[in-house]
């Protein structure tokens, strides 16, 4: 008996010693959140719940979400990278974030090849958005297709036909959008923008807005050779003053300053000053946006909302710009293999719907499309979500957020050009884009001159 | 065992040692957190450094590139323009306010508190508040102007008005300077005014020939600090332009301050070497301007003690 008791005691002792050691052996994977979505107060507990779920089901890896406010996320990540304290995963990252930190990411190709990882379930475009000639930055998590959201009450009040929701309807063009938008643009006296009595100095309702996009996003729809990219395929020649971009920018310029159905920069400031998103402000009839708007802004509106596809452009093409998210592993991170395991888990068919419901993206896996659609439809029962899903087939490639040399300088130069139009400093799109193109060429030349 | 035999030290030596002992924590902090990073940034300014890869020595390239960069000149122009507007207006208004609040009137303490209060509020919240006040459509400023028949400008959303808007915003925080002036005003000897009164000096003459000379060291102090603060201007412009125009330094680069462009280079373009060069050029500019102000002080700053020593 004593002998047995001794053995039991010994076993207990071993367990007592071994248990904490085993617990300590869990490898920590820190997920840095803040460069894109994921920092809204209602998203934080959901991510914490996700971490608990992972940690409860894994013995060797422990995950922790490091949620950093957007405004300090860039400096914090740079400090962590520079200080040799890189997080194991960063995300959700948009295409633009990947481009801005392009040299920081690890290539996941070796992991994919070692496991012969099956990527066939992912939508092909989502794989392309993460793949560059020299690296694959991460498994696709989600897509954010784009469309027009419109205020049904405003259409009813003005007696204007709703935009069609059928992708086969070729009458839905940018010109048709302008026609309807002008009828929906009203001054304080109730005159619309087509009437001679219309007072452009006193507008209270605008027909159309694409305010939450940058210059490349605004111009990607017009069918330029580079679509959303302002350079040639080899990135050596600036192509910002293409015929299509000039046409598109002039369309926006005239929309602000001649036809008045798009709020100019100053008016946009007024609209957003209340803290409301453009459509939510009740001053915009049609707003071009992405699925992330559904989660972030489309809440408890006092009016009905409809959804319509991206219109056809002047060349008869439909280009619906897209955003995409993934998680990436920094090149200098420790525990890359564990990070890869977490990346796989987050994008697995079992988890991806929950993860995408947190971040508002359409899951990049085709096999879960129905599950996600059902969950989303429950939240937005009156929206025809087919319009959103169908938009994936018309995405912009090259994407308007994709990498170009000196990504930040190039985009800032383009956004400055858009600012000239929006502020009315220069409303001639050709003049603006010719000058911009010269600046971009200089940036590209300097970049290539530095390359070995 | 005694490590140090201090018994043979003179009193002065012992006092010095004690003094140094007290400042050691600060010295350590200064060396590690200020001098160290400064020297590191000096080294980085001669390198191409994107944080992710190791720095690569490129000699003076960052400095030569800087002078060919049109945005460097634009940012310098914006900063100088801002300094030219905000520095004199801030100094004059805060001085006038201090003179007013130095009068013996009922409730003067409450007024002093009211004017000083904004200067202790967080610059972030104050800026956000002004962003709303300056809103072209719903802002109080334009609504008040409309009542007197003036159509207000776009303020922060208008390239021609964005910078003056920031100057006006800054004037709201002149309480700090005002308090320093107030302390100075209260230390001006009363007998000087009494003597001047006996000599028949009018109030303007007393102000011109007593108050201003006696206050010149305080004006000088506020000028030097204001100069440095103006050239270090960042947070308000960063918040205001980001909140209103979604374009840092916007609209159309009208508020692209030197420090904003420096920040863009460091944290948006990941060009730490170039940003470090910018920081050192800024340091030299501030140093030269401050030296110039110090040099000019012998012409217009009146130190009573100095004159006594000379006589």
Whether residue A262 is contained in a domain is answered as no
Total of domains in chain A? 2
Last residue of a domain, one of A345, A366, A394: A394
Whether residue B2 is contained in a domain is answered as no
Same domain, B112 and B202: yes
Q: Quick one: pLDDT band at residue A155, thresholds 50, 70, 90?
A: very high
Domain range spanning residue A450? 212-253+405-452
CA distance B24 to chain A (A): 27
Whether residue B222 is contained in a domain is answered as yes
Q: Quick one: pLDDT band at residue B4, thresholds 50, 70, 90?
A: low
Whether residue A12 is contained in a domain is answered as no
Last residue of a domain, one of A355, A371, A394: A394
Whether the CB-CB separation of A307 and A148 falls below 8 Å is answered with yes
Same domain, B239 and B106: yes
For residue A438, the tally of other CB atoms under 10 A from its CB is: 12
Query: Looking at the predicted structure, is the pLDDT value of residue A63 above 90?
Result: yes
A3-12, A111-120, A163-172, A442-451: least confident range: A3-12
Three-state SS sequence of A236-285: CCECCCCHHHHHHHHHHHHHHHCCCCCCCHHHHHHHHCCCCCCCCCCCEE
Domain range spanning residue B87? 64-310
Q: Percentages helix, strand, coil for chain B, rounded to the nearest 5?
A: 75, 0, 25
Q: Does A331 touch chain B (CB under 8 A)?
A: yes
Same domain, B128 and B17: no
Q: Take residue A111 and report the two structure tokens written for it.
A: 């992991």
Same domain, B138 and B224: yes
Last residue of a domain, one of B39, B57, B75: B57
Same domain, B73 and B48: no
Whether the CB-CB separation of B166 and B237 falls below 8 Å is answered with yes
Same domain, A361 and A418: no
Each residue's pLDDT tens digit, A8-56:
556 555 555 555 544 557 899 999 999 988 898 888 999 999 999 999 9
| Cα-to-chain-centroid distance, residue A30 | 23
Which residue, A409, A67, A250, is CA-closest to B248? A409
Nearest to B52 among A104, A408, A425 (CB): A104
- How confident is the model at residue B122, as a pLDDT? 87
* A78–B158 C-beta distance less than 8 A: no
Q: Does B269 touch chain A (CB under 8 A)?
A: yes
Each residue's pLDDT tens digit, B162-178:
999 999 999 988 999 99
Q: Percentages helix, strand, coil for chain A, rounded to the nearest 5?
A: 45, 15, 35
Please, what is the end-to-end C-alpha distance for chain A in angstroms?
79
Same domain, B195 and B125: yes
- A98-107, A156-165, A378-387, B142-151: range with highest mean pLDDT: A156-165
Whether residue A95 is contained in a domain is answered as yes
Same domain, B72 and B23: no
State the best of B52, B78, B269 to mutate against chain A, taking most chain A CBs within 10 Å. B52
Same domain, A369 and A417: no
Give me the DSSP letters along B220-287: HHHHHHHHHHHHT--HHHHHHHHHHHSSTT-STTTT--HHHHHHIIIIIS--HHHHHHHHHHHHHHHH
Whether residue A436 is contained in a domain is answered as yes
- SS3 label, residue B219: helix
In degrees, rounded to 5, the angle at the alpha carbon of residue A152 between the alpha carbons of residues A146 and A158 is 120
Whether the CB-CB separation of A186 and A205 falls below 8 Å is answered with yes
How far apart CA A210 and CA A80 sit, in angstroms, is 35
Per the prediction, chain B carries an average pLDDT of: 91
Whether the CB-CB separation of A145 and A291 falls below 8 Å is answered with yes
Q: What's the farthest any 2 CA atoms get from each other in chain B?
A: 86
Query: Looking at the predicted structure, is the pLDDT value of residue A414 above 90?
Result: yes
Query: Looking at the predicted structure, is the pLDDT value of residue B245 above 80?
Result: no
Each residue's pLDDT tens digit, B296-311:
999 999 887 665 555 5
- SS3 label, residue A168: coil
CA distance A289 to chain B (A): 17
Same domain, B175 and B305: yes
Each residue's pLDDT tens digit, B81-119:
999 999 999 999 999 999 999 988 888 999 999 999 988
Rg over CA atoms, chain A? 25
- How confident is the model at residue A13, as a pLDDT? 56
Whether residue A181 is contained in a domain is answered as no
Q: What is the CATH number of the domain that holds A95?
A: 3.40.190.10
CA distance A348 to chain B (A): 30
Query: Looking at the predicted structure, is the pLDDT value of residue B70 above 70?
Result: yes
Same domain, B123 and B260: yes
How far apart CA A188 and CA A196 sit, in angstroms, is 14
Mean pLDDT of all residues in B203-220: 94
Same domain, A418 and A362: no
Mean pLDDT of all residues in B23-41: 94
CA distance A206 to chain B (A): 14
* Chain position carrying tokens 């050709």: A430
Query: Looking at the predicted structure, is the pLDDT value of residue B243 above 80?
Result: no
- How confident is the model at residue A219, as a pLDDT? 98
Please give the C-alpha separations between residue A237 and each of A103, A226, A233, B184, in angstroms, as whole numbers.
22, 11, 8, 63
Q: Does B54 touch chain A (CB under 8 A)?
A: no
Same domain, A377 and A420: no
Per the prediction, chain A carries an average pLDDT of: 91
Same domain, A390 and A439: no
- How confident is the model at residue A169, as a pLDDT? 96
**pLDDT above 90 as % of chain A:** 72
Which residue, B98, B121, B102, B85, is CA-closest to B226? B85
- How confident is the model at residue B34, as a pLDDT? 94
Same domain, B164 and B235: yes
How far apart CA A123 and CA A137 sit, in angstroms, is 16
- How confident is the model at residue A69, as a pLDDT? 93
Mean pLDDT of all residues in A321-329: 94
- How confident is the model at residue B52, as a pLDDT? 81
Whether residue B1 is contained in a domain is answered as no
Whether the CB-CB separation of A385 and A373 falls below 8 Å is answered with yes
Each residue's pLDDT tens digit, A178-203:
999 999 999 999 999 999 999 999 99
Backbone φ and ψ for B199, nearest 5 degrees, come out as: -80, 0
Same domain, A46 and A112: yes
Same domain, B45 and B87: no
Same domain, A390 and A422: no
- How confident is the model at residue B309, as a pLDDT? 55
For residue B94, the tally of other CB atoms under 10 A from its CB is: 26
- How confident is the model at residue B247, as a pLDDT? 77
Same domain, A61 and A81: yes
Whether the CB-CB separation of A417 and A215 falls below 8 Å is answered with yes
Handedness of CA B85, A427, A213, A77 (dihedral sign): negative
* A269–B136 C-beta distance less than 8 A: yes
Whether residue B3 is contained in a domain is answered as no
Whether residue A291 is contained in a domain is answered as no
* B252–A273 C-beta distance less than 8 A: no
* B52–A406 C-beta distance less than 8 A: no
Which residue, A132, A82, A128, A79, is CA-closest to A102? A132
Mean pLDDT of all residues in B48-67: 93
Same domain, A438 and A378: no
Q: Does A451 touch chain B (CB under 8 A)?
A: no
Whether residue B178 is contained in a domain is answered as yes
Total of domains in chain B? 2
Whether the CB-CB separation of A160 and A141 falls below 8 Å is answered with no
Whether residue A312 is contained in a domain is answered as no
Same domain, B53 and B68: no
């Amino acid at each position: 008996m004593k002998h047995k008791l001794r053995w039991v005691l010994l076993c207990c002792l071993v367990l007592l010693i071994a248990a904490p050691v085993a617990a300590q052996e869990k490898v920590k994977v820190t997920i840095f959140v803040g460069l894109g979505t994921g920092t809204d107060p209602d998203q934080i507990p959901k991510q914490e719940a996700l971490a608990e779920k992972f940690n409860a089901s894994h013995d060797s890896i422990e995950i922790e979400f490091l949620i950093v406010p957007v405004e300090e996320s860039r400096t914090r990540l740079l400090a962590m990278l520079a200080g040799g304290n890189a997080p194991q995963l960063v995300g959700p990252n948009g295409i633009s974030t990947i481009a801005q930190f392009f040299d920081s990411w690890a290539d996941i190709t070796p992991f994919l090849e070692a496991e012969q990882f099956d990527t066939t379930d992912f939508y092909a475009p989502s794989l392309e958005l993460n793949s560059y000639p020299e690296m694959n930055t991460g498994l696709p998590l989600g897509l954010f297709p784009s469309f027009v959201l419109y205020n049904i009450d405003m259409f009813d009040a003005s007696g204007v036909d709703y935009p069609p929701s059928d992708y086969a309807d070729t009458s839905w063009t940018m010109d048709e959008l302008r026609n309807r938008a002008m009828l929906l643009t009203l001054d304080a006296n109730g005159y619309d923008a087509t009437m001679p009595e219309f007072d452009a100095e006193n507008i209270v309702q605008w027909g159309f807005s694409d305010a939450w996009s940058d210059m490349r996003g605004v111009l990607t729809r017009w069918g330029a050779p580079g679509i959303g990219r302002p350079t040639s395929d080899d990135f050596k020649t600036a192509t910002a003053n293409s015929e299509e971009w000039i046409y598109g920018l002039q369309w926006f310029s005239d929309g602000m300053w001649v036809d008045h159905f798009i709020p100019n920069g100053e008016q946009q400031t007024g609209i957003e000053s209340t803290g409301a998103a453009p459509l939510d402000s009740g001053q915009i009839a049609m707003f071009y946006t992405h699925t992330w708007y559904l989660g972030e802004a489309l809440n408890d509106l006092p009016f009905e909302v409809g959804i319509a596809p991206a219109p056809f452009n002047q060349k008869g093409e439909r280009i619906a710009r897209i955003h995409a998210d993934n998680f990436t592993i920094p090149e200098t991170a420790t525990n890359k293999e564990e990070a890869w395991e977490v990346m796989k888990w987050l994008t697995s068919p079992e988890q991806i719907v929950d993860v995408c419901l947190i971040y508002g993206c359409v899951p990049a896996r085709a096999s879960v499309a129905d599950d996600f659609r059902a969950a989303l439809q429950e939240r937005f029962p009156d929206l025809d979500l087919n319009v959103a899903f169908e938009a994936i087939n018309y995405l912009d490639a090259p994407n308007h957020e994709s990498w170009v040399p000196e990504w930040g300088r190039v985009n800032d130069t383009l956004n400055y050009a858009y600012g000239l139009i929006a502020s009315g400093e220069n409303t001639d799109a050709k003049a603006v884009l010719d000058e911009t193109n010269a600046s971009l060429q200089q940036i590209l030349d300097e970049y290539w001159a530095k390359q070995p | 065992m005694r490590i140090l035999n201090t018994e043979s030290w003179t009193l002065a030596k012992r006092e010095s040692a004690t003094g140094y002992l007290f400042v050691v924590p600060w010295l350590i902090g200064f060396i590690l957190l200020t001098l160290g990073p400064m020297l590191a940034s000096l080294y980085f300014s001669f390198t191409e450094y994107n944080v992710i890869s190791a720095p690569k020595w490129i000699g003076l390239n960052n400095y030569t590139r800087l002078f060919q960069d049109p945005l460097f000149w634009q940012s310098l122009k914006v900063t100088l323009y801002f300094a030219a507007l905000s520095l004199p207006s801030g100094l004059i208004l805060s001085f006038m306010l201090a003179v007013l609040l130095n009068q013996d009137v009922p409730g003067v303490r409450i007024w002093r508190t009211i004017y000083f209060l904004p200067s202790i509020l967080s610059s972030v919240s104050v800026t956000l508040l002004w962003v709303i006040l300056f809103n072209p459509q719903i802002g109080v400023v334009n609504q008040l102007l409309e009542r007197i028949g003036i159509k207000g400008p776009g303020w922060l959303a208008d390239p021609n008005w964005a910078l003056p808007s920031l100057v006006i915003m800054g004037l709201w925080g002149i309480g700090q300077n005002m308090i320093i002036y107030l302390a100075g005003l209260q230390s001006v000897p009363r007998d000087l005014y009494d003597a001047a009164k006996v000599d028949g000096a009018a109030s303007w003459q007393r102000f011109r020939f007593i108050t201003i000379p006696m206050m010149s060291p305080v004006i000088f102090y506020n000028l030097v600090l204001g100069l440095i603060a103006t050239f270090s201007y960042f947070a308000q412009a960063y918040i205001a332009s980001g909140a209103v125009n979604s374009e840092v330094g916007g609209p159309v680069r009208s508020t692209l301050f030197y420090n904003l462009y420096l920040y863009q280079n460091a944290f948006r373009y990941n060009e730490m070497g170039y940003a470090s060069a910018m920081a050192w050029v800024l340091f030299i500019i501030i140093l030269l301007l401050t030296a110039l102000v110090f040099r000019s002080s012998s012409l217009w700053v009146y130190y009573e003690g100095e004159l006594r020593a000379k006589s």
